[in-house]
């Protein structure tokens, strides 16, 4: 999309065209900076600084900051890829594996979780279809499968939100070098919290509930 050769596409001096700014480049930088420093840290001026441009320039590509944030979420959502799980495995394990891939993906981009609260990605699309289909194999049919899938998604999404809130919480301090581990100081002295173990527990609870409540098993 640059105008000429393959030269460095930034900071080509004041005025006129030539910075070679694109929506994709802006989104990529924004995502990178937010994943590193947190969502609140990023301002339009700081983003512009890191790109080598003035803040006003961003407003030619995005009509406002919200639109930019939405594009960031959309980008991460579109990057979601998942492997189909072994079809011969027990259905419960397949659902579990399916959901775990969702968690793994959002974990790589905590930014998207934070922003996703205000700007939910539009396309749950194909990923959701697989989920609904898996629930169908558990015995749920039609709308019932869709609703149960939605409930499961809310549980998982809710877990992400709670986990995400710990990062900015006053009482929780992340342990360095140990992602998913927090020190909690509340009431009777500091204690430890392992969100990975807790996620296992929550997921088990939900899956136990799904299998227990299923109309029939196959």
Q: Furthest-apart CA pair in the chain: how many Å? A: 69
**Should residue 198 be labelled a site residue for its own copies when binding is judged by CB under 8 A?**
yes
**Should residue 210 be labelled a site residue for its own copies when binding is judged by CB under 8 A?**
yes
DSSP 92-150: HHHHHHHHHHHHHHHHH-HHHHHHHTTS--S--HHHHHHHHHHHHHHT--THHHHHHHH
Q: Which one of DNA, its own copies, none is in contact with 157 (Cβ closer than 5 to 8 A by kind)? A: its own copies
Query: Rounded to 5 degrees, what are φ and ψ at 173?
Result: -125, 120
142: which 2 tokens? 């039609």
Which CB, 19 or 156, lies closer to DNA? 19
Among positions 99-138, residues that touch its own copies (CB under 8 A) are 116-120, 122-125
Q: Which one of its own copies, DNA, none is in contact with 46 (Cβ closer than 5 to 8 A by kind)? A: DNA
User: Min. distance of Cβ 14 from DNA in angstroms?
Assistant: 4
Q: In angstroms, rounded to a whole number, what is the distance separating the alpha carbons of residues 94 and 158? A: 21
CB contact at 8 A, 153 and 124: yes
Q: In angstroms, rounded to a whole number, what is the distance separating the alpha carbons of residues 36 and 32? A: 6
Among positions 32-71, residues that touch its own copies (CB under 8 A) are 66, 70
Q: Candidates 57-65, 98-106, 134-142, 210-218: pick the segment binding its own copies (CB under 8 A).
A: 210-218
The residue from 36, 37, 45, 201 that contacts its own copies (CB under 8 A) is 201
Q: Candidates 6-14, 54-62, 101-109, 150-158: pick the segment binding its own copies (CB under 8 A).
A: 150-158
Question: Pairing state of beta strands 172-174 and 190-194?
Answer: unpaired
Q: In angstroms, rounded to a whole number, what is the distance separating the alpha carbons of residues 210 and 98? A: 15
Binding interface with DNA (CB under 7 A): 14-21, 42-46, 48, 53-57, 59-61, 63-66
**Should residue 10 be labelled a site residue for its own copies when binding is judged by CB under 8 A?**
no
Q: What secondary structure letter does DSSP report for 25? A: H
User: Min. distance of Cβ 123 from its own copies in angstroms?
Assistant: 7
Centre a 10 Å sphere on the Cβ of residue 135 and count the other Cβ atoms it contains. 22
Q: Which one of its own copies, DNA, none is in contact with 201 (Cβ closer than 5 to 8 A by kind)? A: its own copies
Q: Which residues bind its own copies (CB under 8 A)?
A: 66, 70, 116-120, 122-125, 147-148, 150-152, 154-155, 157-162, 164-165, 168-172, 186-187, 198, 201-202, 204-213
């Amino acid at each position: 999309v640059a105008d000429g050769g393959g030269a460095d596409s930034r900071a080509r001096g004041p005025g006129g065209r030539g910075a070679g700014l694109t929506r994709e480049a802006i989104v990529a930088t924004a995502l990178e900076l937010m994943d590193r420093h947190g969502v609140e840290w990023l301002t339009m001026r700081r983003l512009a600084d890191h790109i080598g441009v003035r803040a006003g320039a961003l407003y030619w590509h995005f009509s406002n900051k919200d639109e930019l944030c939405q594009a960031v979420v959309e980008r991460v959502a579109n990057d979601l890829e998942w492997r189909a799980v072994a079809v011969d495995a027990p259905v419960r394990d397949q659902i579990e594996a399916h959901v775990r891939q969702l968690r793994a993906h959002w974990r790589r981009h905590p930014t998207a979780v934070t922003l996703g609260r205000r700007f939910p990605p539009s396309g749950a699309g194909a990923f959701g279809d697989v989920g609904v289909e898996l629930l169908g194999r558990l015995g749920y049919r039609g709308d019932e499968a869709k609703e149960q899938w939605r409930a499961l998604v809310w549980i998982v999404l809710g877990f992400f939100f709670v986990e995400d809130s710990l990062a900015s919480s006053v009482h929780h301090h992340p342990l360095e070098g140990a992602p998913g581990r927090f020190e909690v100081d509340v009431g009777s002295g500091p204690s430890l919290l392992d969100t990975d173990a807790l996620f296992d527990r929550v997921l088990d609870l939900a899956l136990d509930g799904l299998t227990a409540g299923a109309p029939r098993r196959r």
